[in-house]
Chain A
Amino acid sequence: NAGVIQTPRHKVTGKGQEATLWCEPISGHSAVFWYRQTIVQGLEFLTYFRNQAPIDDSGMPKERFSAQMPNQSHSTLKIQSTQPQDSAVYLCASSLLGGREQYFGPGTRLTVL
């Protein structure tokens, strides 16, 4: 079991550029979550898919952030017009349908210059 895979591991963008982060959940897991981790705010929930359908995006900033899950094997988090305050580690997690245990990937460290 490869675990949750996230690519890239590190991404550096200039202010105003777009960033796309990728997540491959554990095979057989039907729920995918995105979180953001910063020193100041800690671990914050962003959005959640179940069977590829968006269920809860209450943590997503209203502008510039979007997430998709086009198939059961990957999800993307896109940030348009990145700003320095978007710099963080973005974490993807997956779980079995109905399961409460979430398993995290290694994260993508986004740095916006």
Chain B
Amino acid sequence: GDSVTQKQGQVTLSEDDFLFINCTYSTTTYPTLFWYVQYPGQGPQLLLKVTTANNKGISRGFEATYDKGTTSFHLQKASVQESDSAVYFCALVPNSAGNKLTFGIGTRVLVRP
């Protein structure tokens, strides 16, 4: 079955630091890859989508890129702010019938002022 591996459990940064979170995936199809962000007491919010066609997505200062060769995709932001503190999930939807999301375990990002 499909799987997503997100090894970084927690990342602690200071404001203006560079953020980088990596995920690897396994699937038999050409997936669409997502980054979701979750704030306390809320559901996950869609942050970025990356397809195998465009390889990159950009939103709200975040950038996601995809590497088919290593079946990995990562999220980065050049300069984080305290408001970026949240849990970030990578996820995939297979390019086949049925669109259920398979999520990574999540990375808690804490940005200190």
Contacts and interface: CB of A to CB of B under 8 A. Distances in A.
Interface in A73-113: 91, 93, 95, 99-107
B46 A103 contact: yes
B100 A104 contact: no
B19 interface: no
Contacts of A42: 103-106
A4 B91 CA distance: 20
Interface residues of B, number: 22
Given A31-B99, A56-B100, A43 B89 contact: yes
Nearest to B49: A101
Contacts of B83: none
Given A42-B103, A45-B102, A102-B99, A91 B44 contact: yes
Given A43-B89, A100-B32, A106 B41 contact: yes
Given A43-B44, A91-B43, A100-B93, A48 B102 contact: no
Interface in A37-69: 42-43, 45, 48, 55-56, 59
Interface string B38-74: 0001111110010000000000000000000000000
5 contacts: A45-B102, A48-B98, A100-B99, A102-B46, A104-B44
Interface of A: 4, 31, 33, 35, 42-43, 45, 48, 55-56, 59, 91, 93, 95, 99-107
